[in-house]
Every structure is written in C-alpha cells, then in structure tokens.
Chains A and B, each alone.
Chain A
Amino acid sequence: MLAISNASKSFGSKKVLHDLSLNVEKGSIFGFCGANGQGKTTAMRIMIGILKPDSGTVRWNGASIGRKELRRIGYMPEERGLYPKMTPKRQLAYFGVLSGVNRREAEERAEYWLERLAVKLNPNDSLENLSLGNQQRVQLASTLLHEPDLLVLDEPFSGLDPVAVNALSELLVEQARKGVSIVLSSHQLELVENLCDSVGVLKDGRLVAEGPVSEIKKQSIKRIAKVKLSGASDSWHVDLPGTRLVERGEISSLHVDEGIPPEELLKNLMERGTVEHFSWNHQNLSEVFLDLAGVES
C-alpha cells in the first residue's frame, strides 16, 4: 500500500502542496483530478522520490521509498521523454537493466511489450522515426517492462486517440487485477470516473476531496432544479423556502437545500405561477470536479 502522510512542499516562498495525506491500496486505481498548476505533478514526483517533501512521509508497504522501492515503481512523466536516436528495443532493454532486470530478460520483455502494444516499427528504426502515437506506446512499455508493483502515471491518456485510450484503460485494469497499485492523473474526468476506484481533487495544493467516486459525488453533488415559470412576478424566487437562485434565464437554475424534497419545491413554485418546466439535474464528476476545484464552467 502507498501511504502519504501530511506531505508539504514549497518552491522558494510558494507553497505548492499542503499536508497531502492519502492511501492507495494494493490493486486499486487512484485518480488525481485538479486544474493545471494545482500540485498534481508535484504530488506524483514526491511519491516516486524525485522530489523530497519539506515535511511529511511517503511509504510503500510500510517502508520509506529508497532505491530498492524505486525499482518497483513504474513512472510515466507528464513531459514524455525517451532517447530519440536509440531504437525502441535497445532503450527499453536499457531501462529494464537499470531497473535490475538482467540484459537478456530485458531484451525479451522489450520485444514482448512492443508486440503487445502493437508498436509499428522496423528493427533499425530509431524512436524519432516513429509516429507520436507509437512513441507514446514505447513510453508506456518503458513504464511496464520491469513489472512494477506501483504505477505512477502523469496524464497517461493525453495525446492518445480513442482506440488507444480504450486499450490503455483495459491494460490498467488488467494490471490492477494482478495486484499493481496505480496512481494516475487526467483531465479526462469521465475516464477517471469509469476507471478509478477512488479519486482525489487538488485545489491550490490542498486535497479538497478524496474517496470513492460515488462517495464524492454523494458528498459534493449540488441539488439543482431547472425551472420555467410563467405568470409569476419578477421576484418569484425571493423567499422561496430552502432555495437560492443560481442562474436566471428562460429556464432558471435553483440550488436546493438538503431536506427540501422535489415535490415540496414544485408545490411552492405552483403557488407562484404556472410551471412550464421542472427538472432535477444530477452532476457528473466533471461538474463536481469543476465545482470543487473552483473552476467556472
């Protein structure tokens, strides 16, 4: 299990991470959400030991992340990077050997992953001669080749076409079933919602929500009613019990407090005019995320 406790980090006078605490269980997929610059990459770099937290701890199966533990981690940085002049097979084998795999085994695994991920190439092609999609696949292979116990993937879906997104999603689920713990970040929130067992939303370096997607939605979901009234005064929404006008228009949006059931609201509205439209809106994770992250839609 990956356990982060009260990790904080500053660059100069700017604090970019505040007391981050979270656990990622064995075989589970954790998704980081947050707008750009909220601390996701810093949090992930701290997880894999590239950055040291100013305070707090990161533990993997109860031990601090040392050189031995690092070799059991597969990392895909947001800024993709491999050696452009090397052939994919040679560099995959090189990364494998650096992770402690013996050379012959590393070469065999490199061949396996290039085939498994359907990388189209000639044996002497250097990486720079491959399409961007294929380069992305080689990058993923470099993350998986040494059979890590923990995968930390920063925006793994960015730049992938829908077919590749599906293939990667299936691969991650397969890895999780094998017992690999996975931490990923993504702006594609529907993907996170479908793929992750739990998510964390970062805002200004603070974890503003964390837990299973269903729980976060239950906790954070806004009760929004969409209403169209005719024959009502302009101030029909004033003193409407347990509500607050969010948006005024042909169809207006009302925020409805807990404890006010839809039928009570409808009854109150009918007393003020003719109800031409009435609906409850359920937020998806994107809307919850935008709300939590304080981003205007």
Chain B
Amino acid sequence: MPSPAGENIRTVWIIAEREIREKFKDRNFIASTGLIVFLISAMILITSFALDRDTEYTVGFDASDAAVRTAVEQQAETLDFVLQTEKFTTLDAVEEAIRSERVDIAIFGDMIITGDNSTPELQALLESGYQAAASIDLLASAELSDEQAMIIAQGPPQPERSDLSGMDSTTHSMLVYTMFGTAILYGLLALMGQYISQGVVEEKASRVFELLLTKVKAWQLLAGKLVGLGLVGLSQILLILLASGGVALYSGLLTSGTDLGLTDMLALVLNITIWFVCGYVFFSALFAIAGSLAARQEDLQSVQTPAIMILAISVSSLLPAASSPEGEFTRFLSIIPPFSPAAMPIRSAVVDISWWEYSISFLLLAVGTVLMISFGGRIYKGSMMRVGGIMKIRDALSRDKE
C-alpha cells in the first residue's frame, strides 16, 4: 500500500503522462512546433547569408601588381574583411567581371573599378591599400632601406588605450547574449502559456471533469496538467533551441564575431536556463489560473490577457536591467518576483552576485510559485462545476468552499 504522498505523486504523474502522450499525438502541436523550427532556422540562415555578403568580398587585382594586392590583403586582415581575390591581365576582363557581379570591386593599374556590389568601406579599403603600396614605392625611390620604408609606411605609433567603463568585451557579449536568449525564451513562454490555458480548460469544455472528480482531487488534476504540459512546453523549447542552435552552428552564425569561449557559453546557457525554468513554473501557474476561469476554449483569449500583461511587465524588466546591470533598481528587480526570472540572469551576466542574494531571489520566487499554485488550485476547484461563460475570481474562491 503506497503512502498518501506516494499515491499523490502517482496520481499526478498518471495525469501528467496523459497530457504528454496526447500533446505529442496532437497534429496541430506537431505542425506548430515544426513551423517554429522552420521559421527560426530560415531566419538564422538568411541572417548568416546577409552577414556573409557584408564581410566576404571578391576583389579583382592587376596580375602584374603584387605590391597593391599584398597591401590590400594586409589592411583587410586588420579590418576583419574576408577577401577572395582574382587576378586579371586586361582592363576589359576586369570590367566584364564587375558587370557580371563575379567580382565586387577591382583595382587595375591606377584605377579602382566599382560595380553594384561595391560598398564605400570596400572602396576605402582599396584606396588605403593603393596608397600604402604607392608610399612604399615613393619611399623606395628616396633610397631608404626596406626596413626604414616599412616603418614610415606604417605611420606614426598609436597610443595605448585604457577602458575604465568596467565592462570588457567578453562581459559585454555575455550581457547581449543573455538578454537576447532570455527575450527569446520569454517569447516562447507566451506560446507555452497558451497551451497550458487550453489544456486546463479541456476538462471543463468536454465536461469530463465531473467523472474525473470521482477519481482524483481537483488539485491533483491541476498539478498533473501543470507538470505534463510544463514538460511538453520545455521539451518543445529544447527542441526549438537545439534545432535552431544546430543551424546557427552549421551556418557559422553562432561563433562568428564573438569572443566567448566554450566555458563562457556553457555558463551563459546555464544562467539563462536555471532562471527560465524557475520563471516557467511561476508563469505556468499564472496561465493555469487564467485557464481555470474559462469554461470554453472560446473564452480563453479574454482570460489570458491579464496573464500575458503580467508576463510582458516581467519581460520589460530586461531593458532597465540591460542598460544598468549594476544599478540599485536592477538589484531590486532581480530579487522581486515576477521580475526576478528575467532580471537576475541579466544582472548575473555582468555582476558577481553574493549567494544570499541568489538565495533570497530564489526563495521569494519559490514562495510566489507555491502561493500561485495553491491559489490556482482553489480557483480551479471552485470553477470546475461552472459550465458557461467566464467566472470571476471571487466567485470561484467562494464556490471552492462548497
């Protein structure tokens, strides 16, 4: 004979398991997940392609002028331009290559030939390379040694720089990635919230609740739905992130232009994930309460609006947190629910946070979540026998006592 706690867990899991099985068999769910993965992957590939077009160029050179080509290539390396080069022997061949867009820009003799794909930066690069090569020629004619000529060609020494802004480039990258990661996850959370509300109203809409209430308690039904739909939502998010992350890695977008190492990336993912999961439980309970107030799927939109508003307010804390991660206001936001799941990862990407601040923030969120689930359970129970329209929270709470 299992203990009451064991029996409760077993019952909750039976309900959760049904939610998981049925959701994964739901064609609409499968189709919407596929569509999201497709759209995000397409967006990544388009962005990657656009970035490639911005930084990789094909440049035509005079086959007989190696000095200019070397100077341009050195400048390009300094400025993070990726160049493909092509050598030409006649001006006509250069012009034909530019017109057919096989080559983005070219320098032949003393002439720079531009086309539709020539950007001002690319022109400046070629001008600078040409001038550098010409300077070396001029200095060579002044009978200086090659070493002296090179020193002069490199120009005057640059002063060293000291950055007192307190945020090195790695930290800055962490902040930006954390902000975007958190914002994307919260966007997906709004979608998951809809699933949870729809799932919660299912028993009322199909009127199966009266039969279920002879077998399980209302809170077990709500908890089972939260666990089941929560796991479905998290696995959908994981699938979307893995698929889009794979595409981003394959296209090179994930690693291009960042100075974050593998350890930084893991810390970043862990930071975002832990707080997202905490926030997910909190907001799932909120969407479950919204679903409890409706008796039919048609009523869901209006009851979900307040939950989406609260979610939006929580996400809005990303902006002040990102603009001033070390400020007192951000510190406040990172501790108080429902802002903490969004603000804490941003702050912790930049600031070393003491263990007690983490603890208080986590504790308050846990207490808030427990209260939310308990409150939701009462509303759910009180509104179960209601079969039409939207129920007021006050009415649901008073009927809970019946």
Contact = CB atoms under 8 A, between A and B. Distances in A.
Interface string A59-100: 000000001001101011101111111100000001101110
Interface in A29-69: 48-52, 67
A28 interface: no
Given A48-B214, A99-B215, A86 B22 contact: yes
Interface residues of B, number: 23
Interface residues of A, number: 27
A253 interface: no
Given A73-B214, A75-B214, A81-B207, A52 B402 contact: yes
Interface in B100-142: none
B152 interface: no
A98 B26 CA distance: 22
B392 to A, nearest CB: 14
Contacts of A67: 217
A98 B207 contact: no
Contact of B211 (A11, A52, A142): A142
A50 B214 contact: yes
Nearest to A84: B206
Contacts of A52: 402
A290 B24 CA distance: 53
A75 B18 contact: no
A123 to B, nearest CB: 14
Contact of A50 (B14, B18, B213): B213
Interface in B180-223: 202-203, 206-217
Nearest to A87: B25
Given A52-B402, A98-B14, A80 B212 contact: no
Contacts of A51: 402
Contacts of A85: 22, 26
A86 B26 CA distance: 10
A98 B211 CA distance: 11
B402 A94 contact: no
Given A52-B402, A94-B18, A98-B11, A83 B207 contact: no
Contacts of B11: 98
A73 B18 CA distance: 22
B387 interface: yes
Interface string B228-264: 0000000000000000000000000000000000000
Contacts of B402: 11, 51-52
A77 B384 CA distance: 14
Nearest to B18: A94
A79 B295 CA distance: 14
A84 B202 CA distance: 10
A70 B214 CA distance: 6
Interface of A: 11, 48-52, 67, 70-71, 73, 75-77, 79-86, 94-95, 97-99, 142
- A-B pairs, top 10 by smallest CB distance, nearest first, are A81-B207, A77-B210, A81-B208, A98-B215, A75-B214, A79-B207, A50-B213, A81-B206, A48-B214, A82-B208
16 contacts: A50-B210, A50-B385, A51-B402, A73-B214, A75-B210, A77-B207, A77-B211, A79-B387, A81-B203, A81-B207, A82-B206, A83-B206, A95-B215, A97-B14, A98-B11, A98-B15
Given A50-B210, A52-B402, 7 more contacts: A77-B210, A77-B211, A79-B210, A81-B203, A81-B211, A97-B14, A98-B215
